[in-house]
Structure 1
């Protein structure tokens, strides 16, 4: 993998590395009934996860999976030399292959090598940086496939296999158990070379992380490979590892199959992802506890997702949701974290109707909401004028933190206030130049674009700013953006 894809990412005192995951192996006999002509629908997981270790048949699952996991090699800038490699999973017999976005992004050519040593040039059908998924296609027929399983049925403690092409080796199979679900590690859509936690580009605020965490060993080259249950059903697309060295150190992360199927179906049908949008904001997983404490709430007692803002004219606004509501279920499925919430919404398309159950002032309320579409062009057109007005009222300018400032305050993230007008909001409440903006409405602020997103999300409402004053003390400000 090239340098831009092997940057170590600092997350919760460990360094997260997006690992380009790949594989290669010898051809095995085709499993009858394993080919599909279209993207396979989720099937019920028939594995009895309560069986003893001696009853688990890893051999059968490996034989089913290995022929349908391929080695992907990438060319950059028209070069004839390979610049990166990864893995892919054949999901239809006519040549559609799932992999990671970070494996194929910025590629000028994509080669696919099957386990039987046949090589193909692949075309990029579509990719989705917000979930780190991509779909490519080779011209071939009667290929073996991996059938989609139901990732909702996966249980913690269940045996799984990871299949891929790590470290330029041929097809490699490793085993482990599911050690966690709905895990967010803050790695999707970072600007190149930036290792700040939860740092996302302005167009990336739809990023979804709800990984299946396992202890099945994977290494660079496994990215885009298969995570399967003991029936050989696809339950995840391997995407990342947690490591201080760049190699496997105990934990790996896969995109759940149920989310992946929706994204891949969209890429196949439209070449892009059509997302249903509810239109609410909420604290990121890393900031949630601190934000709830600032609100005088005990994080251990908040069961669900605390809403910090509702966008104007959104599906949430039409359904009557308000800041301070705690969403507890979607379509009857209990939501325990913001990562679970994001994944459930991401499985839906525009105009889907969902049922929400939320807590408001101690009472449970049930409503339906019709999800809106994600209209990037329209949003950008409206945003320019709105942001100009908001920043005029704030009366302040901002800049990224320098390395010296980060070292001085011993912090990874934040945005520096560089100028303050006395007649602006910041001047009126006493925010001084040199102040560091750390959080807005519970969201970490890592660059000036994050402030844009936070302000647009709040628009006419109240915003809460957690900051570090020039003397190092922590301060909280509440500002109204209303007229």
Structure 2
């Protein structure tokens, strides 16, 4: 099994664009949202006639879905210098080229489309083709790179066919599903399979907790951003990744749950960005090693290795050594169960956390608090606010803390928890300081960062 796991390659499905999945083991990076807010765009609920067939006949669901799934083309303009002088001066001939393609799902009659962030990442122009061959220019309304979800908008002269969101929490193992997209640029392709697993985490490095629906419906490059629907034609997932040694389908495919995607869409439209909340713990899934290490009597759940001050978990009374086994009515067997459920919640939502402490099962009401982060594009680090206690533990008076590396090359290193005290020799006390310093820089200029490492060492590194 270890040998098999080590050979898995996470292949993101969007044409020439790839995205390495990553996982971070702190619950502080788990997105959260309220389920009671009303989106300010054309409704995504579906009021048509439900499919009532009791047989495994997918014709109605397929026909409904193919008209709402689109082909997304990522076009980028690059400058091609013809000499070293042009290169140094930033000159050269401008050239336009297709660098990737994927799929998208229309979720409202007025043209909002959900796709994967990696499908549209870096695009200068986006071209969307409908099933009837009409083509539109698309605008990026917003995105969440962490969840690999993006929201687009096209303007048509008439109402468009769209898919209603289903409840991904209610999908069951063995349930029939359809995957619809544009694999290998073969438009409007439908494949069938079943739900193979829920709350699946496919990142072997434990850097960024994610929770996918796993299916055996055939999904290939170009399917990224397409629809995973149930037999009623309801959207239950956004097809995102496969595990394969070849980059093509070998039996395993993964989709972002529709509840998480819908929350991201509503956040972008209502707030302009994704509202992430935190429980406020550090920890991870329990396995045989952790059970032996901490002398635990349970083999499932999430072990609380630490609790951050001034967070919902700390205020509610969660402590190091607690084992979380349930949130609301959802059983928590592993960390991805927790991250997946909280991914459909927002800051200030209240969840009932059941946990084991000293052999007894207890329940506390925890109010999720907002996670405020910022990504320093160069070198590729996500940072968040650091508490006074954290600064004192690291022997510094100011700084922000690294949440995770967003640069693939840095993800192999355990950078979480390291404090950045200065950027370009300017002290930073908050996320706002980081934003100000970075916004005043020319992106082509080097960036120097002062680090206070976990062992008390102070270093300065310049990133070109």
Task: Say if 2:170 is the partner of 1:153.
Answer: yes
User: For residue 128 of structure 2, what is the aligned residue in structure 1?
Assistant: 112
Aligned-residue offset at 1:344: 1.6
Aligned-residue offset at 1:267: 1.6
Higher relative contact order (CA 8 A, sep 6+): 2
User: For residue 205 of structure 2, what is the aligned residue in structure 1?
Assistant: 198
Task: Say if 2:50 is the partner of 1:72.
Answer: no
Mapping of residues 58-457 of structure 1, within 5 Å: 58-78=58-78, 79-140=95-156, 141-186=158-203, 197-198=204-205, 200=207, 207-283=208-284, 288-297=287-296, 301-376=298-373, 380=383, 382-383=385-386, 390=393, 446-452=412-418
User: For residue 17 of structure 1, what is the aligned residue in structure 2?
Assistant: 11
Confirm or deny: 8 A CA contact 1:21 1:238 kept in the other structure.
no
Could you say if the C-alpha distance between residues 42 and 258 of structure 1 is closer, same or farther in structure 2, counting changes exceeding 3 Å? Answer: farther
Confirm or deny: 8 A CA contact 1:21 1:165 kept in the other structure.
no
Q: 3-state DSSP class of the match of 2:346? A: coil
Task: Say if 2:48 is the partner of 1:38.
Answer: no
CA distance in 1, matches of 2:317, 2:392: 27
- Give TM-score, length-normalised by structure 1: 0.68
CA distance in 2, matches of 1:263, 1:70: 20
Aligned-residue offset at 1:137: 0.6
Could you say if the C-alpha distance between residues 62 and 449 of structure 1 is closer, same or farther in structure 2, counting changes exceeding 3 Å? Answer: same
| Count of residue pairs the alignment pairs up | 361
Could you say what the CA RMSD is over the residues aligned between the two structures, in angstroms? Answer: 3.3
User: For residue 31 of structure 2, what is the aligned residue in structure 1?
Assistant: none
CA distance in 2, matches of 1:330, 1:89: 31
Could you say if the C-alpha distance between residues 64 and 380 of structure 1 is closer, same or farther in structure 2, counting changes exceeding 3 Å? Answer: closer
CA distance in 2, matches of 1:167, 1:134: 21
CA distance in 2, matches of 1:48, 1:21: 36
* Unpaired stretches in structure 2, ≥5 consecutive residues: 17-39, 79-94, 376-381, 397-407, 420-453, 457-464
Deviation string, structure 1 residues 312-344 (Cα, Å, up to 9, x no partner): 111100000001111122123222221111122
Aligned-residue offset at 1:388: 7.2
CA distance in 2, matches of 1:111, 1:377: 29
Could you say if the C-alpha distance between residues 414 and 82 of structure 1 is closer, same or farther in structure 2, counting changes exceeding 3 Å? Answer: closer
Aligned-residue offset at 1:226: 0.2
Q: 3-state DSSP class of the match of 2:314? A: helix
Confirm or deny: 8 A CA contact 2:51 2:61 kept in the other structure.
no
User: For residue 5 of structure 1, what is the aligned residue in structure 2?
Assistant: none
Could you say if the C-alpha distance between residues 349 and 220 of structure 1 is closer, same or farther in structure 2, counting changes exceeding 3 Å? Answer: same
Q: 3-state DSSP class of the match of 1:449? A: coil
CA distance in 1, matches of 2:395, 2:252: 47
CA distance in 2, matches of 1:183, 1:341: 11
Could you say if the C-alpha distance between residues 310 and 87 of structure 1 is closer, same or farther in structure 2, counting changes exceeding 3 Å? Answer: same
Aligned-residue offset at 1:209: 1.3
CA distance in 2, matches of 1:19, 1:391: 41
Q: 3-state DSSP class of the match of 1:262? A: helix
CA distance in 2, matches of 1:39, 1:99: 18
Confirm or deny: 8 A CA contact 2:229 2:237 kept in the other structure.
yes
Q: 3-state DSSP class of the match of 1:20? A: coil
Confirm or deny: 8 A CA contact 2:51 2:60 kept in the other structure.
no
Q: 3-state DSSP class of the match of 2:232? A: coil
Aligned-residue offset at 1:177: 0.8
Higher share of residues assigned helix: 1
Confirm or deny: 8 A CA contact 1:21 1:219 kept in the other structure.
no
Could you say if the C-alpha distance between residues 110 and 246 of structure 1 is closer, same or farther in structure 2, counting changes exceeding 3 Å? Answer: same
Could you say if the C-alpha distance between residues 145 and 323 of structure 1 is closer, same or farther in structure 2, counting changes exceeding 3 Å? Answer: same
Confirm or deny: 8 A CA contact 1:241 1:251 kept in the other structure.
yes
Confirm or deny: 8 A CA contact 1:21 1:225 kept in the other structure.
no
Aligned-residue offset at 1:39: 4.6
Q: 3-state DSSP class of the match of 1:76? A: strand
CA distance in 2, matches of 1:414, 1:363: 43
Deviation string, structure 1 residues 361-391 (Cα, Å, up to 9, x no partner): 1112111111111122699585499777655
- Give TM-score, length-normalised by structure 2: 0.71
CA distance in 2, matches of 1:142, 1:41: 15
CA distance in 2, matches of 1:381, 1:347: 21
Could you say if the C-alpha distance between residues 48 and 450 of structure 1 is closer, same or farther in structure 2, counting changes exceeding 3 Å? Answer: farther
